[in-house]
Every structure is written in C-alpha cells, then in structure tokens.
Amino acid sequence: MARKSYSEEQRDEIKQALLETMLKCITENGLIHSSVDSLCQKVGISKTFFYSLFDSKEELVMQALRYQQPKLLAYARKLMDEYKSDWRQGVKVFLQNCCYGAKNGIAVLSIEEEQEMRRYLSQENFQAFQRDQLIFFGKLLAVLGLSSENIDPRLFGNLALMMMMGYKAIPDTMPFLFPEAAEDMVDFQINAIVDAMEKDRINTKN
C-alpha cells in the first residue's frame, strides 16, 4: 500500500487536530486513556505519520498545553471586559472555570499525569516548558490588571495549579480528604487568592 503524502497545509491542519484532540482527551479521560493509537484513530492518521509530527505523546501533551495558553488569555480578556465594574467577580469566574476544567473544556493535568510527564521529558524540554509557563502566568497577571513586579508569576502559578490539581485529586489520589467539601475548599482558596490580588491592585493604583 502506497504511503499517503500530505501537503504542508494538511500537515498543519492535522497537527492542530491532534493538539485539540489531546486537550479533549486530557479533559474527558486523562492521559492514561490517551494512547498514540487512540489519538491516531480519532484524527484518522497512521502512527508513522504521527511520529513525523511529534517525537512522542509527551511532546504532543506539552505542545497541547502551550496551544491552550492563548485561548486562556483570550478568555481572561473577555471576562475582564464583561466584568469591568466588578473586577473581583471576573477574576473569580476565571479561576473557578479553570479549576472545574473537566466541565469547561480546560485541560488540567492530574498529579499522577504531571509525574508521568516529568519522567519522560528531557531536562532541556522540561526547563523550556517551565519558562513558557512563567511567561504565560506573567501575561495572565497583566490581563488581570496586575503587575508581575508585585506578584511573582511563579507564586501565582503555584497557587492556581495546586488548587486545580488538588480539586482534581479528590477522592482518587487523596482519598482521606472530604469530597463533599471539595467545592467549598475551591471557593475558599479562590477567595484567598483574589483577596491578595485585590490588595496588590489597590496598592498599585495608590
């Protein structure tokens, strides 16, 4: 059987389809159910062609998370426009929708998935992704009207991601926590984060 050839435009379209499919898989099923075989079947390509686009599933995951970042920034801008008269509520809605990612189509890795990814990533790729994460959280702070000079993007990233991953970990990874209080826990954490952000926002204006 002759190997199918693809134009550059088709390659770009298929790459985008793989990125979007990967994000959907993370959101709906998690990485454990997202094999290269299943991804290729969903997009309608061969494994050989997949590996001409990405070196590994892990590289696809990293690229998919990067692909998601501009969408998150655009969503944050939209909320800031919608909630011009209530900045606090706009930020809370953004953090809530990110935290409940599975309900809103926002991909968040679980604790186990982050550990798996780290095992397979080279130090160089890991550091590159960390740099991209730092840039992203700096841009997100700016969209939310905050200064990276006053709020460390690394701290903001840690707080936001730990909240999201903690919620996702209940009850399977953290069975001794109380699942019935999980959403109240998220609300408490979001209010604490927004309190600190609002204080910095007021101080910056003054």
For the chain, the domains span: 61-205
In degrees and rounded to multiples of 5, residue 30 shows phi and psi of 85, 165
Q: How many CB atoms lie within 10 A of CB 33?
A: 10
**Tens of each residue's pLDDT in the chain, 206 residues:** 345 788 999 999 999 999 999 999 999 888 877 899 999 999 999 999 999 999 999 999 999 999 999 999 999 999 999 999 999 999 999 999 999 977 788 999 999 999 999 999 999 999 999 999 999 999 999 999 999 988 999 999 999 999 999 999 999 999 999 999 999 999 999 999 999 999 888 776 66
The answer to whether the CB of 106 falls within 8 A of the CB of 161 is no
Largest CA distance in the chain: 71
Does this model's pTM top 0.75? My answer is yes
d(CA 22, CA 10): 18
Q: Tokens 């998370």 belong to which residue? A: 65
